[in-house]
Structure 1
């Protein structure tokens, strides 16, 4: 489906209206939930929101399909969808109020790349000018290599107006608190001095609406089934919560969507959602005990099929994309899975590499080819999700015959150029972030 966000414009606006009615007052720095008027200009801006469904064949009696959310060649991740809506709302705020907006977001890489791409697209399509909407992103050092270069950092003026800040500390999740604290400290002063609204966008509501289109595409283009297992590599499971909202809205409109069940796939470094689902706590003491085998050079366990049987490290960070600890979304996902069905599973790099050649062959007919060398893969979400469902089937953890794998991200070294080091700022604390944002806006004011 080409341009899914434009195709489902009416439903997206309805979802925003529902969330507005059912939520507390919008935060002081939020720009509201209004989108620009539908028409050719908005459609051109949303053009990167294509979705495809591909058949992956059968595996031990299960029909596997891929929901391909990675079709924007400038991001290769599903973060394109919410990012387009976030920037569109910022542009509409400028149109309604005349007040400029600087988006501020922490990210493990993919969200930052997608939001920067959406800002650039708004500039290029005329939805907003560079003087009206800009962006500042804060990423941990571990994720810096996943940040895609773009024209926003090729031009000196654009680079200073849209800064990229890198946090050098070991606690990667701290970027969220730093960005939030900087906005709380600086927003009122910058609004008064420069007429700019700082908008901290890391809010579930800003992502859930965009992901309702997953359920709409599923309902319109996949056959009905008694139930369908949705598989997703997750950090906070925003995508699945958005899918659930879409399913509920379809039912409220009189449709009969296929009942969803959800399989969460995580890695060992941040297995918090699986731990919470299985044990009611994210305490790592609940993980199985691994034994080192000097013969293989790996750690092994066979006590819990929901955790890797073999791994090189019990705290392995397979991909820095998945960096959230104790996600606030766990209770809601736990309740959904408890009511509707599903499970969680953790995978290791060893398991992903073991499956890698078979996954390349499985994906080849879809038109998407994984890099020949796993070392060239920079985004592991798709490989994690596929490894997770195949392991879950082999271990008899899931029984649904109809499986939809949400392809939320996959790219390799040949797909992008990383942002060069001279184009980023180091920010160790809130003072550093404040200095960067003031410099960006003061330079813009002078220019």
Structure 2
């Protein structure tokens, strides 16, 4: 199942390759469900292997590439962005989520309407997976639908697809934009809608409403990162006792999934995986997890004080190397994808890093631009092409992660272990996709408007 491309090793169709192991690991998540939770969620079970399922999973390739060493650190890229329809790691979780929905629909005959808030990438990846399931013949367009709720600041990052381009599919799978001063309010809006309307819609239309933002829905697929690490990278028995995992994070779902997979691998008797040290990269707009790691609180009052350097037109600070030394604006928003404030996962991540080692760093747009040519050249070895003009970049996750790695190495913040694995979770430019035009989107100022869009979509599928 592997092939070698230049300096890269590519694991083809990882979800098919690890189907049995993933299903076994997911069984433990099923066993951990909280009794009495009335919210609908399909069982953590994948459909049985088939040619159709293999086609559906076929965009789940994972790549590993050795990068040039830096300051004594052996750098590698874990490429989780190989689906040309999304260019983000959200593909792996989305395919797994939709596969669970397919199994439920097939076994029960019940229809499912997924409702998910997203800053952009989750919506794009889930919509891509829904269409793939329909195209593969796993479900029909009437059996599986999706409503995505995204903040207005993220509309430029939404990828057009058949779900938005085809009039009937667009109506049945509404992409809903919510205007708010706080982008993360889409989570509250979607969650409140599901809690107040799920039972009514099931009674009236026989459709299940599935609010998919739960951590385990994403941890399930991200366990595969540890499986791929075990199979594609040197283990502890090869003289690599520890490995630092660098990831641009909003809530660190990906690293928590890797941690779960790491424990599953170890529990299954394979103890060759190096101890995992996690290193978080964030930006100044949402530095909450690094703040929590450093100070035990999300209080932005603990950010260093920036002072304007009139000569250079930059804000500077030198009191804490875990935060940008320079920035155009201390209040900047580098990438709206990273929009979560005060994530509930901070405490869990803090505990893991305290026990196993790691750290975190915050980067600025100025720092990313200052190192952009260096990062672009570094990633060229991994067959990752960044646009020559950084203004064309629309997803900054990978550039943030590599910039954070280099900055941390320069400042002596990386753990002593020389082995560093950068989790490539997203990178795309304006040439990789067509944004969803305004006339293909819906808007909702409140829950009543959102409920109207969802009910219209459900009704359209019911009447067929």
Q: Which of the five TM-score ranges fits, normalised by the shorter chain? A: over 0.9
Answer yes or no: is 1:144 the counterpart of 2:155: yes
Structure 2: gaps (5+ residues): 1-10
> Does residue 4 in structure 1 map to residue 42 in structure 2?
no
Counterparts of 1:206 and 1:353 in 2: how far apart (Å)?
Answer: 34
Change (3 A) 1:292 1:231: same
Q: Deviations over 1:349-403 (max 9, x none)?
A: 0000001001111111221110110000000000000000100000011122000
Contact 2:315–2:328 (CA under 8 A) maintained in structure 1: yes
Contact 2:314/2:327, CA 8 A, preserved across alignment: yes
Change (3 A) 1:409 1:27: farther
Find the partner of 1:18 among 25, 28, 36: 28
1:121 to 132, 141, 166: 132
SS in 2 for 1:314: coil
How far apart, in 1, do the equivalents of 2:206 and 2:44 lie? Answer: 20
Which whole-Å CA distance do the structure 1 matches of 2:382 and 2:401 have between them? 16
| 1:289 paired residue among 267, 286, 305 | 305
- 2:5 maps to what in 1? none
1:88 and 2:104 are equivalent in the alignment? no
Distance (whole Å) between structure 2 residues aligned to residue 116 and residue 27 of structure 1: 25
Q: What is aligned with 2:343? A: 327
Query: Which one of the candidate residues 203, 207, 229 is aligned to 1:218?
Result: 229
Detail structure 1 runs of 4+ shifted over 6 Å in the superposition.
none
Equivalent positions of 1:189-338 (< 5 A) are: 189-224=200-235, 225-256=240-271, 257-338=273-354
* Residue 293 of structure 1, CA deviation: 1.1
Deviation at 1:27, TM superposition (A): 4.1
Q: Which residue of 2 aligns with 1:389?
A: 405
SS for the counterpart of 2:241 is coil
Q: Is the 8 A contact 2:29 2:44 kept in 1?
A: no
Corresponding residue number in structure 2 for 1:445:
462
Structure 1 length normalisation: TM-score? 0.99
User: How large is the Cα RMSD of the aligned pairs?
Assistant: 0.9
Q: Which residue of 2 aligns with 1:188?
A: 199
Counting matched residue pairs gives 447
Deviations along 1:68-126, whole A, 9 cap, x unmatched? 00000000000000100111111111111111001110000000000000000000001
User: What TM-score comes out, normalization by structure 2 length?
Assistant: 0.95
Tell me if 1:403 matches 2:413: no
Q: Counterparts of 1:190 and 1:362 in 2: how far apart (Å)?
A: 51
Q: Which residue of 1 aligns with 2:376?
A: 360
- Residue 447 of structure 2: which of 417, 430, 434 is its match? 430
SS of the aligned residue for 2:149 comes to strand
- Of the structure 1 ranges 9-18 and 208-217, higher mean CA displacement relative to structure 2 is found in 9-18
Residues 111 and 143 of structure 2 are in contact (CA less than 8 Å); yes or no, is this contact kept in structure 1?
A: yes
**Cross-structure match for 2:366:** 350
In the alignment, the residues of structure 1 paired with residue 20 and residue 282 of structure 2 have an alpha-carbon distance, to the nearest angstrom, of 34
**Cα deviation per residue 1:400-419 (whole Å; 9 max; x = unaligned)?**
20000000000000000000
Aligned equivalent of 1:339:
355
Gaps of 5+ in 1: none
The equivalences for 1:46-57 within 5 A come to 46-57=57-68
Q: Is the 8 A contact 2:12 2:62 kept in 1?
A: yes
Measure, in 2, the Cα distance between the counterparts of 1:379 and 1:303: 30
Is 2:39 aligned against 1:28?
yes
Distance 1:141 1:246 in 2: 35
What's the CA shift string for 1:416-446, capped at 9, x where partnerless?
A: 0000100111111111101111111122223
Which sits farther off after the overlay, 31-40 or 131-140?
Answer: 31-40
How big is the shift at 1:23?
Answer: 3.1
| Displacement after TM superposition at 1:280 (Å) | 0.4
- Equivalent residues of 2:395, 2:427 under 8 A apart: yes
Separation (CA, whole Å) in 1 of partners of 2:218 and 2:461: 29
Q: Give the Cα separation in 2 of the matches to 1:27 and 1:331.
A: 26
Superposed displacement of residue 237, structure 1:
0.3
Structure 1 distance, partners of 2:444, 2:199, is: 21
For residues 383 and 107 of structure 1, what CA distance do their matches in structure 2 show?
21
